[in-house]
Chains A and B, each alone.
Chain A
Amino acid sequence: MTPRSAQLIDGANQALASAQRGLEEQDLESAAERACVTMLRLAKACLDEDGISAGPAQAVCSEYGQRFVQTGLMYSAYFRWLLDATDLRKAAGSDFAAPIDYDAAATVVERAEIFRDATVRFVSRSAR
């Protein structure tokens, strides 16, 4: 595991904890936003392991899809989850989208947890 990816996974864990708190406190917008940040940081960690440094969220999603999902290293569902999380974050932060519901926020937080576990397994495996 590279120092950078370890740092990103730490940051993802913090964001995930914040997302879980947001969910408990019914702060759905915050929960969705933090869950999305969790997944983006994890995707960045995977990319960093591959020697790729991607900046904006769109570049992270795109590179992640091409390098890990297209190649079969990760399940294609993760790419969908990443895109759905970014769209949910966009909706949560907008003043024109329909309001997000509890299930939407809870789902993305739960997915972020799974995404975290899969990323840690992947990074640990690639470190061997």
Chain B
Amino acid sequence: MIENSAAVDLALGRSSVRQRILTLLIEDAGSRLHLREIQRRADTSPGTASRELAKLVAAGLIEREAEGHQVYFKASTSPVATMLRSLLLAMPQAESGPRPPRLARAATPAVAAAAPSPPAAESSPASIEPGAAQPARRAPDARVAETVEPRSARPLTAGAAVTAPASASISTQGGTSVSTDPDLLGLQIARSLAESLRAIYGERLQGVYLYGTRAAGAAPADADVETIVVLDHVDHYGQELEKTSHACASLSRDYRILVGRVFVSAAAWNGDPTGSLRQIRSEAVAV
């Protein structure tokens, strides 16, 4: 009952995007829609659509089906979803007031990282300006690796769209959902970061892995996207942070989710794991 109550709260919550998505799916129960179509018909961004879909899946209101690299969503046939269907269809359409301003998109991470600008150029003149604490920067490696072949017990096929492994499954029981697959939004963001990192590091990049809550699947909506960046060697941690700073900040701003990275050397990652690395390596998902 608690789960059902949470599902009702979620469905009837303040997010008009969520209501539009749910209405889309339940008005035509039985049909299933691809993420892009949902995003287009709900008139929202891919990130928002992914985030709301993840919440609805976690609440057991919709179901996710994977076919190859494509992921589809459809209304759940669970009792609580059926009840909500009648409830939502009886309600007036969600208010369509002005949307909150969307964060201005920064320069694409690859460009930003390739041509770092001083902080003073990053914001408006009215801002409180930072001082001169900028580490010595080394020009980033402009080579772009064609492929990165990461090593993981749980490989995923990289792709531009939000995809899930062919084995993706959500088990729904009595209104609660337990996902055993990585969080879709987390994967999408990690892949975007990986693309930027490939442009920055080229052949130095040995792999990018999603770990933590979002790799485990059932992640809260505001959970951080935690990544491990495996480089051929990490001699100066600060330099690696600086090179990837714009990419992480841009994604964090765009998705309103913190995107973090930890650098690990290839020797440590590929060597005999000790401490928490053993656990992390077994749970991390290659992106």
Contacts and interface: CB of A to CB of B under 8 A. Distances in A.
Contact of B237 (A69, A81, A99, A117): A99
Contact of A101 (B103, B123, B238): B238
A115 B129 CA distance: 9
A12 interface: no
B204 interface: no
Interface string A83-112: 110111011001111111101110110110
A17 interface: no
B256 interface: yes
Interface in B235-254: 235-239, 241-242, 245-246, 248-249, 252-253
Interface stretch (B84-92, B141-149, B160-168, B272-280): B272-280
Contacts of A84: 241-242, 245, 248
B268 A98 contact: yes
A97 B128 contact: no
A91 B133 contact: no
Nearest to A102: B238
Contact of B262 (A72, A97, A107): A97
A117 B122 CA distance: 19
Contacts, number: 147
B275 A74 contact: no
B13 interface: no
A75 B264 contact: no
Contacts of A80: 245-246, 248-249
Given A97-B264, A118-B128, A75 B241 contact: no
A69 B256 CA distance: 12
Nearest to A98: B234
A61 interface: yes
B275 A95 contact: yes
Chain B contact-residue range equals 35 or more
A91 B234 CA distance: 12
Given A61-B258, A101-B238, A110-B133, A83 B252 contact: yes
Interface in B11-55: none
Interface in B182-227: 222, 224
Select the residue from B106, B245, B258 with max chain A CB neighbours within 10 A.
B258
Contacts of B101: 70
A114 to B, nearest CB: 4
A79 B241 contact: no
A118 B263 contact: no
A103 B122 contact: no
A97 B236 contact: no
A66 interface: yes
Contacts of A66: 103, 256
B241 A88 contact: yes
B135 interface: yes
A75 B237 contact: no
A99 B268 CA distance: 11
Interface in B131-163: 131, 133, 135-136
Best-surrounded residue of B119, B136, B263, B274 (most CB of chain A within 10 A): B119
Nearest to B104: A70
29 contacts: A61-B258, A62-B252, A66-B103, A69-B253, A70-B253, A72-B124, A74-B123, A75-B122, A76-B122, A77-B130, A80-B245, A81-B130, A83-B258, A87-B261, A90-B260, A94-B276, A96-B262, A96-B275, A96-B276, A96-B280, A97-B237, A97-B262, A98-B263, A100-B238, A101-B237, A107-B135, A108-B238, A118-B129, A118-B130
- Of all A-B residue pairs in the complex, the 9 with the closest CB atoms, nearest first, are A104-B238, A77-B119, A98-B234, A96-B277, A72-B124, A110-B133, A95-B275, A75-B123, A114-B131
Given A70-B101, A118-B129, 5 more contacts: A58-B222, A75-B119, A94-B276, A95-B274, A118-B130
